[in-house]
Amino acid sequence: MNTITRMETSERMSKIVIHNNTVYLCGQVGADLDGPISMTEQTETMLSRVDSLLEQAGSGRELILSATIYVRDMKDFAEMNAVWDSWVPEGHAPARACVEARMARPDLLVEITVIAAVRQ
């Protein structure tokens, strides 16, 4: 029987789900900071959260299989990509999609969902 492990679970969702040595992360956004936050700052803190969750799940950014990135406005695409490109380990770029989307809160500029392999 395949085991499903759920971590940091609430009534609405789990931040991490592990099944068949695959890690699924719920959508991650940038940390709440005081004042207006740039796309660069939101992307950096969002990816820092991804790092923490992947580590907790026994994975890492070099094991990301797929990422879906949602940006509020495609005018910020290049700024987000500058942070993303420096964060992804060379030679380990995952399959990725990036789409423009309406966010849950007006102050959010970017969100990501990630699927990764468990470290063997």
- CATH number for the domain spanning 35: value is 3.30.1330.40
> What pLDDT sits at residue 38?
92
What's the one-letter identity of residue 40? T
Question: Would you call 32 exposed, middle or buried from its count of C-beta atoms within 10 A (0-12, 13-18, 19+)?
Answer: exposed
Domains of the chain: total? 1
Q: Which domain holds residue 110?
A: 4-117
The tokens 């796309």 sit on which residue?
Answer: 39
Single out the residue of 59, 68, 55, 120 nearest to residue 94, CA to CA: 68
Single out the residue of 50, 47, 51, 59 nearest to residue 21, CA to CA: 59
With contact defined as beta carbons under 8 Å apart, do 102 and 61 qualify? no
pLDDT in tens, the chain (120 residues): 579 999 999 999 999 999 999 999 999 998 776 667 899 999 999 999 999 999 999 999 999 999 999 999 999 999 999 999 999 999 999 999 999 999 998 889 999 999 999 999
